[in-house]
Structure 1
Amino acid sequence: MSSAVSGPLRQVLGKAAQLGGAALGTLQHTRIPGVGQASTTEPADVAARRWRAVTVFRDDLAGPFPELEALGPDLEVRMQPAPGGRGTELYGRFHGSPTEDQVGELRAALRRTKQLAEVGEVLRVDPQPHGRRTPTPQGAALEGAAAQAPKEGVL
């Protein structure tokens, strides 16, 4: 946020960013009639131990994977050919019972690894090609949702 934004407006924008991130997390678990549920409703300890995966459109995928290695030694990584010759599936999971934040970081790291392998760089939303967003509560809510999206896997 710009330093020209006043104190009360800065507080409103900060709260709007928090609400945008929270709304994204809530919507991910909302059941939509006729469509199903956006996310699993497994118990948290079971969901935390599941493998997370991305399909990388490369048959010659090989480590090292710095984005995943940065998550520490408790992370287990494996690869296998994707069905139908569509590249390589890259999996990761933590040993033990990871926190919700660790699982979110794993999901984001898998997507960054996929982007690095396929494109050679991590694609960014910001800065916007058309310039900076006006500091409004709606813009702050969007910024909050965009900041949370890599961990949640949606936006």
Structure 2
Amino acid sequence: MPLPKIVARAAGLASEAGGTALKQLQHVRIPGVGQTSVTDDPRTAARRWRAVTVLTDPEQLRTATPAPLAAFGDRLEVRVSPAPGDRGAELAARFRGPVTEEEIGQLRSALREAKQLVEVGEVLRNEPQPHGHRAQTPQGKVLDGMDEQASKEGVL
């Protein structure tokens, strides 16, 4: 096998291993330090409040629930309070009943989209890329995978 193919294969295997390791690290709780994301049982996960700070008057959010959160209907409890330090409003939401991990990711995305809609007026997107398509290199595949998970997990 030619050396360039061996190097390309090794890079592909390394990027797959890195992606798998990253996925595992996103679900690690470090006692006393915090966590990036935790996979809990559905009942506990549903009852956890997820929140974002929005640079706006709290009364604006109390009068109209942003569309990304309103799409969940009565499945969500939504709470609006003044953010600490007069930094706008804290918009928090949680599910009323058991949910899947996928639905929790959708709620995280909806909170970030609601923040963008209120602050900027539109939801910022990374796709499609305006400059065309990126070559599918091992690093490009890792970046695409991380970008896809970031919208649900809230970290990149």
- TM-score range (shorter-chain normalised) is 0.7 to 0.9
Q: Secondary structure at the match of 1:73?
A: helix
Question: Which runs of 5 or more structure 1 residues have no equivalent in the other structure?
Answer: 1-12
Distance of 2:150 and 2:122 partners within structure 1? 18
Report if aligned partners of 1:24, 1:149 keep a CA contact under 8 Å in 2. Answer: no
Counterparts of 1:73 and 1:133, CA distance in 2? 41
Give the Å deviation of 1:23. 4.9
Q: 3-state SS of the aligned residue for 1:93?
A: strand
Residues matched between the structures, number: 139
Identity %: 58
2:45 is matched with which residue: 42, 47, 68? Answer: 47
Which residue in the other structure is 1:58 paired with? 56
Q: Which has the larger radius of gyration?
A: 2
Contact 1:48 1:100 in 2 (8 A): no
- Structure holding more helix per residue: 2
1:9-88 pair list within 5 angstroms: 20=19, 23-30=21-28, 37-40=35-38, 43-59=41-57, 60-62=59-61, 63-88=64-89
Q: Deviations over 1:89-122 (max 9, x none)?
A: 1111111111111111000000000000001111
Q: Which has the higher contact order (CA 8 A, sep 6+)?
A: 1
Indicate the SS of the match to 1:61.
Answer: helix
**Quick one: which amino acid aligns to residue 154 of structure 2?**
G
- Structure 1 residues 125, 87: CA separation in 2 closer, same or farther (over 3 Å shift)? same
CA shift, 1:41, in A, is 6.8
Gaps (5+ residues) in structure 2? 1-11
1:145 CA drift (Å): 1.7
Higher mean displacement: 50-59 or 67-76: 67-76
CA contact (8 A) 1:23 1:145 kept: no
Whole-Å separation in 2 of the counterparts to 1:41 and 1:107: 14
With structure 1 as the length reference, what TM-score do the two structures score?
0.74
